[in-house]
């Protein structure tokens, strides 16, 4: 299959490099011309994935139309707030039933829809197969390094999901399939909110008891909202649920966890974000979580406190204290 990966951040770059290493012809679309020129010259993305050389099977372009038209499978790895505009741009270049796979973990900030829902709204029927999403515990640098990794590929069309499963699986990356695309996308977006909370807890040096409690109660909140949105409960016990949540809440490579650490040290959000090269999806997902929880009448006290810390300037230690002093209840 001919592959294009749209987005040359750390995850898009790592995934393109991985697929190229399997011998597939891969085109990597890059927004920034200067990064593209560096990649063409050195075969290394020194901005977002330094230290890893791309194989000869990967080519680089800034021509989005060419990347879309040349692919049998199009993997999209751009931040959620840019996906609406991107889907509109690629629609005119989709001339056959290509498979589009979202690698993005977030909600559309305007409609609060998942990426697969947004895709279905924008791309006319017949241009693509049913949308597919890929998620699970997968830090970009570890995939690039070839460490054993497991992910989940979800679609309402299980046959399409299985095509992607077969194409991307190897001795270093094992893919499972799921029909619960809603659950996989919801878990993928909301785990970043809890990861910010975990970074705060670690910054405040509250210890492992606190982190374990946070992850557990965070999973409860994610599951509550997921079920309200129509997801299946078992999804949250799998790779896209507890698997990705544990990784993002404990791993040093987690950018959302890092944002939480900075917040715990008292730094303002705008200062934190201005110093980042990559997007921390949890910052935007927190707003979506608050709005979705209100819309569906779901209680999400951790997400609510993260919203107040991020957007209302609430003191992180005070937020933790108020969570601990909530009315006692059954588990």
What predicted TM-score, i.e. pTM, was given to this entire model?
0.95
Q: Where are the domains of the chain?
A: 3-179, 189-324
The pLDDT confidence band at residue 125, using thresholds 50, 70 and 90, is confident
**Catalytic annotation, pick one of 105, 113, 191, 290:** 191
State what percent of residues in the chain have pLDDT above 70.
100
Closest CA to 281 of 188, 197, 218, 199: 188
Region 155-179 average pLDDT: 98
User: How far apart are the C-alpha atoms of 55 and 71, rounded to whole Å?
Assistant: 18
More confident residue, 331 or 186: 186
pLDDT tens, position by position, 55-102: 999 999 999 999 999 999 999 999 999 999 999 999 999 987 899 999
pLDDT tens, position by position, 255-291: 999 999 999 999 999 899 888 877 789 999 999 999 9
Q: Catalytic annotation on 191? A: yes
**CA-based Rg of the chain, rounded to a whole angstrom?**
19
Report pLDDT for 266. 92
Question: Are 233 and 198 a contacting pair, CB within 8 Å?
Answer: no
Region 231-251 average pLDDT: 97
User: How far apart are the C-alpha atoms of 244 and 158, rounded to whole Å?
Assistant: 22
CATH of span 3-179 = 3.40.50.720
- Give just the sign of the alpha carbon dihedral 48, 53, 106, 254: negative
Helix (H, G, I), strand (E, B) or coil at 136: coil
Helix (H, G, I), strand (E, B) or coil at 51: strand
> What is the rounded average pLDDT for all residues in the chain?
95
Burial bucket for residue 138 (CB in 10 Å: 0-12, 13-18, 19+): buried
Report pLDDT for 309. 96
Q: Which residue is listed with tokens 């002093």?
A: 325
Report pLDDT for 307. 97
User: How far apart are the C-alpha atoms of 309 and 313, rounded to whole Å?
Assistant: 5
Answer CATH for 189-324 from 3.30.460.10, 1.10.1040.10, 1.10.150.300, 2.60.40.10 = 1.10.1040.10
User: How far apart are the C-alpha atoms of 52 and 18, rounded to whole Å?
Assistant: 11
Cα angle 72, 10, 138 (rounded to 5 degrees) comes to: 80
pLDDT higher than threshold 80 for residue 37? yes
């Amino acid at each position: 299959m001919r592959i294009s990966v749209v987005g040359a951040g750390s995850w898009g770059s790592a995934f393109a490099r991985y697929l190229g290493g399997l011998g597939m012809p891969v085109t990597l679309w890059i927004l920034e011309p200067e990064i593209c020129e560096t990649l063409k010259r050195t075969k290394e993305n020194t901005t977002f994935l330094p230290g890893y050389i791309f194989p000869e099977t990967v080519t680089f372009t800034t021509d989005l139309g060419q990347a879309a038209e040349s692919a049998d499978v199009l993997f999209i790895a751009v931040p959620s707030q840019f996906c609406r505009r991107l889907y509109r741009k690629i629609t005119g270049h989709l001339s056959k039933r290509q498979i589009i796979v979202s690698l993005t973990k977030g909600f559309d900030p305007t409609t609060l829809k998942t990426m697969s829902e947004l895709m279905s709204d924008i791309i006319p029927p017949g241009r693509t197969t049913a949308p597919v999403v890929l998620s699970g515990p997968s830090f970009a640098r570890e995939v690039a390094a070839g460490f054993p990794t497991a992910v989940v590929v979800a679609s309402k069309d299980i046959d399409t999901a299985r095509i992607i499963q077969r194409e991307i699986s190897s001795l270093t990356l094992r893919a499972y399939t799921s029909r619960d695309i809603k659950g996989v996308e919801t878990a993928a977006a909301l785990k970043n909110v809890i990861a910010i909370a975990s970074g705060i807890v670690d910054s405040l040096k509250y210890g492992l008891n606190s982190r374990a409690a946070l992850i557990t109660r965070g999973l409860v909140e994610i599951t509550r909202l997921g079920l309200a949105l129509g997801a299946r409960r078992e999804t949250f016990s799998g790779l896209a649920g507890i698997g990705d949540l544990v990784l993002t809440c404990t791993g040093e490579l987690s950018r959302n966890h890092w944002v939480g650490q900075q917040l715990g040290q008292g730094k303002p959000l705008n200062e934190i974000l201005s110093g980042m090269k990559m997007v921390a999806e949890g910052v935007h997902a927190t707003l979506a979580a608050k709005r979705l929880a209100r819309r569906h009448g779901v209680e999400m006290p951790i997400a609510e406190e993260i919203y107040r810390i991020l957007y209302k300037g609430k003191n992180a230690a005070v937020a933790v204290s108020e969570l601990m002093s909530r009315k006692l209840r059954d588990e």
